Structure 1
Amino acid sequence: MHMHPLLKKVKGGLIVSCQALENEPLFGSETMKKMAKAAMMGGAVGIRANTGADINEMKKAGISPVIGLVKRDYKDSEIYITPTLREVDEVVEAGADVIAFDATGRVRPDGQSLSQFVEQIKRNYPGHLLMGDISTLEEGIFAAHLGIDMISTTLCGYTPQTSHYESFNKELLVGLIHKTDVPVIAEGRVDTPELCAECIRLGALAVVVGSAITRPQLITKRFVNEMPDIKDV
């Protein structure tokens, strides 16, 4: 089966999610560009980035491919990863190679269905690859049915029906690989090199790692939490 050149490029590799929210110390497009460059220097095959400004800085620096998204809150929906066409436009205008968005079954802003949303994107940007972030096997199967180019396990553990998952869901990854005919990306709580490698062996096209690489405050906290308490000794 023919594989898109971009998918070939990331096959078997590590994609690093370089994102920082406004309340985090590393927030800012210049910092995220440097983070992305460091990740690529370390052997990453691609970058996942949030906001048009960050994507634009990375693309100007020659980083490719960039999986783009825009996180934005809407009062009438829990969805915040590229919820509407407004965010899709920002991602494309910034130069992203792939449009990433929430493809869960939750209600979208203005009550729009996922089917309508995907149809709109395909009509407006027929040349762009689409990455659907899902949380369950059923959502992944439906996303594949809609013709989304790749499925990512990003949101498992972050939706009401999957909130009981506190670690990476290998069963979901394997289920998606066996029950869909589109490439599957392992993402969400992939926090060790060993787990990263296991995901590839299980059949993931590629693996996305974010916090375990790019959020120093969380990385530091993991170390601090393991330190023995010797203050009273």
Structure 2
Amino acid sequence: MTLRTVFNGYNLDELLTDDTGRFVTLSVSGRGILKRRLDLTEMPGMHGAKENSALYDVREITVRFLIEDKTSAGFRDRFNRLNGYIKGRQKRLEFTDEDAYFIATLSDASIPDEDSNSLVCTMTFTCADSAKRMNEKVIEVGTSESTHTITGQDETPWEVNLTFSQAADEFELETDQGIYILLGFDFIEGDRLTIKYEGREVWLNDDMDLRHSIRLASNYELLKPGELKIRASHACQLSYEERLY
């Protein structure tokens, strides 16, 4: 598959290539092994040091690309359009040779002297959240306990979605990983409920904030890779994205 750069939904190679010029992704670096920040304490009378923690560093992804046009005016216009496509903070960055994406912001660029209408340049994207995210996984949750395998390499947020098939005055979801959600509300048949780990959001029918319905016994935890046992008071879907480093 041809390597192409997609930022915030914009396929740069496709949008900036036509009969008079082109944008070509040549190479990408920064998607491999990620450095860690080690917190070390030197101990008197001890060889080496005590390791307190090891945290993943900020990820920087550098894209090397060719941009060219038949005319100087067209070349400048192509750069102007590129600038428009890569603006914005914490947007989705992905490449067509891998089924994964990053949350990134453009932080730097290296542009040679513009002595021709064909240049090889680089642009660097910074991922403050250094995780590599794979596509969404969906688990069908029933009223009887079932066992599933959470894939990926690190803890990850989750989302629960369901549509009530009949009236109910509560919704409960429980796992053996410590996640427990209990909502008290008079739901009616056809109500759509969405519960998100991030922001502790609870939405009814996409527009009614139901965070006030969360009972004190509820406990929000990230999903951990490995075996998960789960059940719910009503059939629902639990979705998450694999996180890799």
Q: TM-score range by the shorter chain?
A: under 0.3
Comparing both structures, which one devotes a greater share of its residues to strand? 2
Greater relative contact order (Cα < 8 A, sep 6+):
2
Identify, as 1 or 2, the structure richer in helix. 1
Whose radius of gyration is greater, 1 or 2? 2
